Each structure stands twice: as C-alpha cells, then as structure tokens.
Amino acid sequence: MKLSIIIPTYNEEDYLPDLLKSIKRQDFDDLEVIIADAHSTDKTVEIAESYGCRVVDGGLPALGRNNGARVANGEMLLFLDSDCVLTNNYITSAIEEFELHNLGIAITQIIPLEKGFINKITHEIANYMTKIISNFKPHGAGCYGILTYKALHDEVDGFDEDVDFGEDTDYIERVAKISRFRVLDNPRLLISTRRLNEEGLKNITLKYAKSTAYQLAGRKVTLNELDYSFEHKKHNTRIFYSLCGEGLGHAIRSAVVIEYLIREGYDLVVFASDRAYAYLSSKFDNVYEIGGFNTVYENNKAKYKKTFIYNMRDVPSDLKNNISKMYKLARKFKPDVIVSDFEFYANLLSHMLRIPLISIDNMHVLTESNFKVDSRYAMDRMFSEAVVHAFIQRADKTLIYSYFFPELKNKDTTKYVAPIIRDEIIALKPSVGSHILVYQTSDSNTKLIELLKANPDKEFIVYGFHKDLKEDNVLYRSFNEKTLYNDFRTAKCVITNGGFSLITEALQLEKPVLSIPVNKQFEQILNAIYIERLGYGMHRDYVNQNVLDSFLENLDTYRKNIKANHYKIESNDETLDELKKAIDSVCKN
C-alpha cells in the first residue's frame, strides 16, 4: 500500500464528513484512512466507520498520530487535522512533487474554507511566512498536512508525546535532520477558520508569533505559556485541582498528587495562589494563579482582626476575578470533578456548576472527628472550625491526611489517609548529626532566634526567614529543596511551629519534634498536642531555656517512640490509590 492517512479526532461530527468526502473524490485509491479517536461522545466514530475508516484509540494530537502510524500499512504517511478538506487531485500532486525532489518530509500550503478578505489575506501571509522560515529552519503544523515515509517516522520514534504545543514542528525538525524538507508548491489544503473565529485574529496572531519565535530560538513553548488548549482533544476524566497557597506545605504534597494524577492519565487544570502558584508553575503546565487568603502573624501569633481586615480588602476583587477565571475555564475544560486541598473558590465553583467535590487535606480532622483538648483552646478551636466549615461545604468525599486518628463522625464519606511524603524524603537514609533543624512558617518568632543565640554550644540551621546568612551559631538558609533534604536527613532533632507537612516529614525521618505552634492557630496547636500525646516530642505554647533543655534531654526517648509506633511510609501509593478510588467513585455517580 502506498499511503496511510492518519486523522486525530474528538467530537468532530461537524467537520469529519467533509474531509472524508474529499478523500473519496481523489483520483488516488492506493490508500487507507485511520481515525485516531479520543473517545468522542458524538457520532464521530460512527461516521468514520461508515466511510470504511479504521478506528484506533487517540488522545492529544501527538498520541493520536503515533497510534495511527503504529498500525499503518502504507509506505507513506499523511497526517491531517479533521477540520480540513483536500482540494481536487491533492494526493497525486503531493506525492509527485514529494518524489520529484527526493524529499523525506513535506507540508503543503493552505486556503481558508470560509470566504472573506481577512481570511484570504491571513492565510496567504501564513503561507508566505512558512516558506520564508523553511529556507533556514524546517517548520510547520499538522493543519498544513505532514507527508513523510513510515520508515522515517519509525526512525525518529514518532511525535514526542511529552510536547504539548508545537509537537508537529518538533517532529518535522527531527525528520528533516535525517532527510530533506520542503514546503510543496502545488497541492493546497482547505482549512477551517474555527480557531480564528473563536479566539480572534489578534490573539491567534500573537500566540503563533510567540510560538514561532520560541521554536526558531530552539526553545519549546507550552500550552500554558500561550494560554492555549486542545480542549476538543480531551478525553480522560477531567479534574480541576485547587489548593491553598499559604506556606509551602499544601504545594509540596500537591506536587506529588498532581504528578500521580497526570501519570495515571487524568486531564488536569491546577489553581493556586501565592507561594504555591510559584512552586507548582515551575514544575507543571496548566497551573493558573488565583488570589488567596493569608494569615497575618506577629510575634508567632495569628492576628485574627488584622487577618480579617487584610483579606477583606482583596475579597471583592478576588471573588470576581477568581470565579470569572475558573468559570470560563470550566466552561471550556468541562471538569468531571473538583479536588480541593483546602481552597475556598473551588468549593464555590463546585456548588455553582454542580460538579462533584473531593476534599483532601489535613484541616478536616478539626470538624470531622471527635477529640478533647484543654479548655484554654476553646475559642481558637471554635474559630478554626468555623473557617474550615466556611471553606469547604458538603464535599462528596473527604480524605484527611493525618498521623493521629481520633474517631471519625461519618465514616461513610470521610476517611483517614497517610500523609503525602515527598519521594526524595522517603529515599533518605536518616542519621543523627550535631545540628538542630529549625523550620518556621513565618519569620515573626524573633524570641526563638534570641534563645538559639543564647546557646552558643549548639548549632542551629534555620529555615523560614528568607535569607542566607551566618550569625554566630545560627545559620539561616533560604528555601532550597536539595539543601533542606540533607539538613533534614542529618539533623539531631527538629524545632518547628505546628505545620503538618514538616512534622510528618520529620517523623518519617525519625526526628523528635519540639512544636511551638503559632499562637491561636488551632490546626497547628492540635498537631503539636498529638506530638506530645504520642510521645514523639514536646508541645509548648512558648519556648524558653528550660523547655529547650528538657526537650534535648529526652531525645532518645522520643526517637525510640517514633521508631516503635509511627507508621513509616515506604511509598505514597496507598494514599494516592484512595484518591483515585474517590475520583472514580464520584465520577461514576
């Protein structure tokens, strides 16, 4: 067989028939047509089969094209988008010119399907620029029709499925390195202008100008950088994942969760604020920044009145901007489920659009379990429980990260799961060194620093003050994961607030914990209370020399208790599997 035509599709019932009719009209019949369909919910597959096409599983463009090529019988491959139409004699003309110039890969020029001066001139400019650029760098796109040999496709291992934008140009460049490339002069493809109509000429021009500039400079560009999506190619369970941006604990564990969900084949859009956005956007695509709530701290104390005033300034604009951004993306992306790690606006969106909501965080132990604490914490507890109730209402499933397990109020919809621990932490082999690791949620606890300096015979490495500086026996470090890993691994013990993620990683590394929770921050207070109840360390509302001495004198006992009683995690698989079950469960319902 001479030619295999490969077409990725998703819900293309409005466009595919015209393309298949144009293929039938060609004066060339030594060919097969392979449809790589991404689980269309319309009549796309039925239409393809009625035209005698072979249908295989598809996905995003690169995956669909590779799946089609894998089963192709043709000597040559022609990759087309589903919304184009072949002009008369297109195939014969393309193959003749291809073989005449002894090419290995080629693209054709385009004509707009829809009439109009703007459409005509923009497509002529696109043809002109493509030919000019091709003189010094192979360049093109799937909508131009990519013609090559199957042997060359196999030699370069097909399209790179890790490239989410410009995978066609990347493919053309790699094949052109081992063969000859050309923009064909004679054949023409009729191209739909639907993307132009949807996004506007200005936006499309800017996006493609930016992508072309990046590609010419040898840099890959992502969908997220262009605010561009192949939403009509999405086919797996679609998830909005949203998380609290205060501190880095939520972001660090969410990075593990996000990586797992992507690896499992879910389609993901992520929302985060502040430091969490900065952290996650450097690791993943499709991460969007939203405004978030922040706590005001002074002298290691949460200031409720100032927190309220500070956040109320931004709530009106954040509410409008966040919901508008998330709503528009929801209309385009059509999420099947929302997963929230204690993020307020995702909860609102869930109820607005009636999308199932899964809550996964450590905060809900406050509201979903029965426990007793000293009456002096009653007001702090009441306030924190009110915040948790306000942030998340009526989740379909609630998963609670925890290292302590008071009785749950509702075991039907709520479940404890093991804390997420970074793989790098799990892989560490802990040892007992000479330094004490100090990790603070905020830099307001200046009295603690004074105490550390008053113990010159002890070495302290301090994180959370956002600086790199040595002052006597205190070494300040700004946040760096690799450096923190080693400091964590070799620490004698840990002094921290009551932050959940840091405490659980300390326990994983068998490090006794002196927890001095932020005053009035009840979630941290409860974490600290259970550190002491379980015998893993000490909880104090304030620290002084006597407290420090007592803690250090009992390190061996604390370390023994941790080794004997704390569940040391070998992998995150169990927790991640529980999340997957919850997602699949609510989506089925």
Could you tell me where in the chain the CATH 3.40.50.2000 domains are found?
236-420+574-588, 428-565
At residue 198, does pLDDT exceed 50? no
pLDDT 10s digits, 416-475: 999 999 999 999 999 999 999 999 866 667 888 999 999 999 999 999 888 999 999 999
pLDDT 10s digits, 114-131: 665 555 666 666 666 666
Give the pairing of strands 459-463 and 435-439.
Answer: parallel
Q: What is the pLDDT of residue 294?
A: 56
Average the pLDDT over 271-296 and give the result: 83
User: What is the chain's mean pLDDT, rounded?
Assistant: 86
List Cα–Cα distances, 556 to 494, 502, 562, in angstroms.
13, 20, 10
At residue 202, does pLDDT exceed 70? no
At residue 307, does pLDDT exceed 50? no
Could you tell me where in the chain the CATH 3.90.550.10 domains are found?
3-193
Average the pLDDT over 383-412 and give the result: 94
pLDDT 10s digits, 71-128: 999 999 999 999 899 999 999 999 999 999 999 999 998 887 766 555 566 666 666 6
Select 236-420+574-588's CATH number: 2.40.30.110, 3.40.50.2000, 3.40.50.720, 3.30.70.250. Answer: 3.40.50.2000
CA distance linking residue 66 with residue 298, whole number of Å: 57
CATH number assigned to the domain covering 428-565: 3.40.50.2000
CA distance linking residue 47 with residue 16, whole number of Å: 8
What is the DSSP track for 457-522? TSEEEEESS---EEETTEEEE---HHHHHHHHHT-SEEEE-S-HHHHHHHHHTT--EEE-PPBT-H
CATH topology for 3-193 is Spore Coat Polysaccharide Biosynthesis Protein SpsA; Chain A (3.90.550)
| H-assigned helices in 282-438 | 304-333, 344-353, 365-368, 378-391, 423-427
pLDDT 10s digits, 207-231: 455 555 555 555 555 445 545 444 4
Return the structure tokens found at 382: 């009441």
Average the pLDDT over 375-394 and give the result: 92
Percent of the residues in the chain that have a pLDDT greater than 90, as a whole number = 63
| H-assigned helices in 177-303 | 194-199, 201-216, 223-226, 249-263, 274-281
Return the structure tokens found at 366: 């406050």
